[in-house]
Amino acid sequence: MPRAAAPPLPLTEREREELLQISKLRSTPQSVALRVRIVLSAAEGIANKVLARQLSTTLPTVLLWRARYQADGLAGILEDRPRSGRPKEISPEQEAALVETTLHRTPKDATHWSVRSMAKTQGVSPATVQRIWKKHHLQPHRVETFQFSTDPHFVAKVRDIVGLYLNPPDRAIVLSVDEQSQIQALDRTQPILPLRPGLPERQTHDYQRHGTTTWFAALNVAAGKILAQCQPRHRHQEFLRFLKQIDTATHPTLDIHLILDNYGTHKPPQVKKWFSAHPRYHVHFTPTSASWLNQVERWFARPRPSDSGVRPRAQQEPATIPMGGQRQHDCSEGKKV
């Protein structure tokens, strides 16, 4: 004689609404959603075997979560019970000592702890050290730099420069100006062999040095365009030469707001005299130890592909400020473009 089907699982109207609400939430884990569907279907009187087949699960799973809900209610299907397993081999005191050692001590023969050196010191496995470091978000192998500005007018200067970025004046151009010195001028010892069918582009593995160069650049903050020039040296004479190029490349009726750092090349008497003779230029210096505020630094830091694989970034052809008709100087070939 066949066994009678299990009786429907008793649910109140409030319990049914709670279960339906949980099943509709996108944040509900799939495992919990399956348990909720089992309980709701069991409340409708569907046989356990039929329910297991409809939900593509097993009969023991249906019986388990049906019994859990009858015994513990909603909490019984939302949370898993503690499972038996291997007990912890490290006590909370040992874990605290490992964290304390990581934070306040250094090994005798190294600058920072490694997983193996810490494991040997604490008498635990490397996997245990790695798990505890991950739990407490500790990364002894990483070192980052920082620099606090000591400029007494830091706030005022930051507001001034950020204000230029966010709300530039009318009939004016905001230029972030800086230079990158000691750039190696490198080239391959032999000409590059071009790409051919069946053959990739080929180049020699060695290179020859052609001294160093300095890269002056002005970033038009509003347009995102660059005016750049290479100079053989890094003095105020070269900086003045670059200012004259900016003056030629921009419309004479526009005011120019220059954002500069505190390098000595930008402040000698000759440069101040030049600015006095050109009243349309307004100079804004970044705070001490805060050259990161100058947007052109982001452009200097951007990686660029090179033709030969060893040429510096300064040898790439820059874009131009869309004001005026000054031709650009190509550092790689030493000619006008």
pLDDT digit string, tens, across residues 129-159:
999 999 999 999 898 888 888 899 999 999 9
pLDDT at res. 312: 40
- Residue 164 located in a structural domain: yes
pLDDT at residue 175 is higher than 90: yes
Asked whether residue 229 falls in the same domain as residue 318, the answer is: yes
**For the CA atoms of 199, 202, 205, 206, what is the dihedral angle to 10 degrees?**
160
Residues 124 and 245 in one domain: no
* 225 in the same domain as 285: yes
**Greater confidence, 317 or 296?**
296
The reply to whether 84 falls in a domain is no
Nearest CA to 31 out of 68, 85, 71, 86 is that of 68
Q: Where does a domain end: 29, 47, 78?
A: 78
Q: Which alpha helices (DSSP H) does the chain contain, by range?
A: 13-24, 30-43, 48-54, 59-72, 74-78, 92-104, 115-122, 126-135, 154-166, 236-249, 269-277, 296-301
pLDDT band at 76 (very low <50, low <70, confident <90, very high): confident
In-domain check, residue 144: no
**Domain presence at residue 140:** no
Total of domains in the chain: 3
Among 7-16, 33-42, 236-245, 326-335, name the most confident range: 236-245
The helix/strand/coil state of 65 is helix
Mean pLDDT of 5-20: 84
Do 251 and 162 lie in a common domain?
yes
- Dihedral sign, Cα of residue 54, residue 55, residue 56, residue 57: negative
The residue with tokens 């089992």 is: 38
Number of other CB atoms surrounding residue 326 within 10 Å = 17
Both 161 and 261 in one domain: the answer is yes
Contacts 24+ apart (CB under 8 A), 263-270: 263/179, 265/179, 265/234, 265/235, 265/236, 265/238, 265/239, 266/236, 266/239, 268/236, 270/236, 270/237, 270/240
pLDDT tens profile 92-129: 899 999 999 999 999 988 888 999 999 999 999 999 99
Q: 255-260 and 281-285: which strand pairing?
A: parallel
Q: Tell me if the pTM is above 0.95.
A: no
Domain membership of residue 87 (yes or no) is no
User: Cβ(313)–Cβ(306) under 8 Å?
Assistant: yes
What are residue 147's phi and psi, to 5 degrees?
A: -155, 120
Interatomic CA distance for residues 226 and 320, integer angstroms: 5
Please indicate, yes or no, whether residues 294 and 173 belong to a single structural domain of this protein.
yes
CATH code of the domain covering residue 216 = 3.30.420.10
Give a yes or no: residue 273 inside a domain: yes
∠ CA 316-320-325 to the nearest 5 degrees?
A: 130
Distances (CA, A) of 32 to 37, 54, 65, 98, 251: 9, 17, 10, 37, 67
Residues 68 and 112 in one domain: no
Same structural domain, 330 and 213: yes
Which residue in 264, 257, 199 sits closest to 238, CA to CA? 264
What pLDDT digit, counting tens, does each position of 298-323 carry?
888 875 544 333 344 333 334 344 44
* Structural domain that includes position 97: 92-135
- The pLDDT of residue 164: 92
**Any idea what DSSP says for residue 235?**
S
Residue 291's alpha-carbon distances to 75, 158, 192, 242, in angstroms, are: 57, 11, 38, 19
Same domain assignment for residues 319 and 176: yes
Residues 71 and 104 in one domain: no
Asked if the structure places residue 83 within a domain, the reply is no
More confident residue, 176 or 184: 176
Residues 42 and 96 in one domain: no
Confidence of residue 81 (pLDDT cuts 50, 70, 90): confident
Q: What pLDDT shows up at residue 327?
A: 34
Q: Answer whether residue 27 is part of any domain.
A: yes
pLDDT digits (tens, 9 = 90+) for 245-257: 999 999 999 999 9
Are residue 127 and residue 44 in the same domain, yes or no?
Answer: no
